[in-house]
Structure 1
Amino acid sequence: MTANSTPLGRTRRLLEKARYLNLATVSPEGQPWVATLEYAWQADPLRFVFGSAGLSRHGLDIAHTPAVSGTLFVAPSTPGLDIDAVDGAQFTGTCGEISAAELGDYYSHFYRTVFPDPEQRDRFRLQPSQLRAPAPHRLYVVIVEEWWLIDTRTWERDRIDRRMEVPLTELSAAALDGRPSRPSRNPPVAAPAQGNGHRTPTGQGR
């Protein structure tokens, strides 16, 4: 078994390579929604940071119901069936807007991840003042509460897709290659900001 075939190694690869996650939310009326979002991640606790307008559909959902679930995956680069190259994770968690007081814990890391090229980052990132009221955009954080990986160990035999849960205690910052951690705060659930919900070139999602 190689390091990349362990739950920890697979999780590390997914976090670094997937780039986008699918986030599922639900409206006050019970209508489901899924948004595809560019993210940055941090550990201790494991969480995802993304940017969106407060009036995006998922932003409005989160303001009412912070419980979320989601997926991220990587696929083979060539056509055909390659089970070893396909991988994915599913998670549940709690999501909320990052408050102005906590913005400094996430701002720089988020934009370094989304725009690794310094010139693009300087061109497209929003300033901190544009991520708090009365501006339309916010950064959000998902605190992961449960984490599962695709379990393909018996798929070739019975063609049943299974999942295996990975304890979050195994996914510490030290285990995930020393990824910087931040204070373990529960994300605030704030009122939605004003905005039109359109995707911008700053990593914000519809």
Structure 2
Amino acid sequence: MTHDDSLTARTGRLLDEARYLNLATVSPESLPWVSVVEYAWLAGPLRFVFGSATGSRHSRDIASSPRVSGSLFVTGGAATGVDFASVDGAQFTGRCAEIPADELDRYHSVFYEAVFPEEAQRTEWMLPPSSLRAPTAHRLYLIEVERWWLIDTRTWAEDRIDRRIEVPLAELAAS
């Protein structure tokens, strides 16, 4: 398998166009959970920032075990049927933790500008940094991506086998 710029370009498109990611966690009792979160992404190294309540199931899971996995996808917006040429997706594994209070300013505006690109809406819904620190119920979380896979679109049209191709993070950081 060769890696080329098209994998990097596809990754960029996914990160820019997908609005939500599916985040998988595991509880201390080994019970799996998947939640849907809005996110901002940062490159070099690839990271995701999302906000959540500390009492949510996935936040409690992250507090006990930082290992997470997830996926994101775009569908191309076809009104009828599926336009397979514009469907794409990625899966990842990584580590997640609350963003410490002393690093919050670094991620606050990045997150809210990505989630609420229109200033009026951002002004209405953005929590101030003081509402994202203990003892309040909301936090920002950072996922540090450790492995990244894209749907392998090269052979699906031929054999209908759904495969993944791993994209080395060094290739994403170099773009």
Is contact 1:83–1:152 with CA below 8 Å preserved after alignment? no
1:97 alignment partner in structure 2 = 98
Which structure 1 segments of 5+ residues have no match?
A: 176-206
**Aligned AA (1:95):** C
TM-score (norm 1): 0.80
**Aligned AA (1:151):** D
Give the match's secondary structure for 1:80. Answer: coil
Which structure 2 segments of 5+ residues have no match?
A: none
Instruction: Give percent identity, aligned residues only.
Output: 63
TM-score (norm 2): 0.94
**Aligned AA (1:101):** D
More deviation, 33-42/148-157: 148-157
Provide, for residues 31-61 of structure 1, a one-character-per-residue CA deviation record: whole Å limited to 9, x for no partner: 0000000000001210000000001000000
**Aligned AA (1:43):** A
Please state which structure has a larger fraction of its residues in helix: 2
C-alpha deviation, 1:124, in angstroms: 0.8
Provide, for residues 80-107 of structure 1, a one-character-per-residue CA deviation record: whole Å limited to 9, x for no partner: 2322110000000000000101101100
**Aligned AA (2:162):** D
2:37 alignment partner in structure 1 = 37
C-alpha deviation, 1:30, in angstroms: 0.4
Give the match's secondary structure for 2:62. Answer: helix
1:14 alignment partner in structure 2 = 14
Give the match's secondary structure for 1:96. Answer: strand
- Say if 2:60 is the partner of 1:55: no
Rounded Cα–Cα distance in structure 2 between residues aligned with 1:14 and 1:149: 10
Is contact 1:24–1:35 with CA below 8 Å preserved after alignment? yes
C-alpha deviation, 1:116, in angstroms: 1.0
Give the match's secondary structure for 1:102. Answer: helix
- Say if 2:161 is the partner of 1:160: yes
More deviation, 127-136/151-160: 151-160
Rounded Cα–Cα distance in structure 2 between residues aligned with 1:166 and 1:152: 13
1:189 alignment partner in structure 2 = none
2:86 alignment partner in structure 1 = 85
**Aligned AA (1:11):** T
Rounded Cα–Cα distance in structure 2 between residues aligned with 1:85 and 1:64: 38
**Aligned AA (2:161):** I
**What's the C-alpha RMSD, in Å, of the aligned pairs?**
1.1
C-alpha deviation, 1:130, in angstroms: 0.3
C-alpha deviation, 1:155, in angstroms: 1.0
Provide, for residues 118-157 of structure 1, a one-character-per-residue CA deviation record: whole Å limited to 9, x for no partner: 1111111001010000110000000000000000211121
Q: How many residues align?
A: 170
Select the structure with the greater relative contact order (CA < 8 A; seq sep ≥ 6): 1
2:151 alignment partner in structure 1 = 150
1:199 alignment partner in structure 2 = none
Rounded Cα–Cα distance in structure 2 between residues aligned with 1:81 and 1:139: 35
Give the match's secondary structure for 1:89. Answer: strand
**Aligned AA (2:85):** D
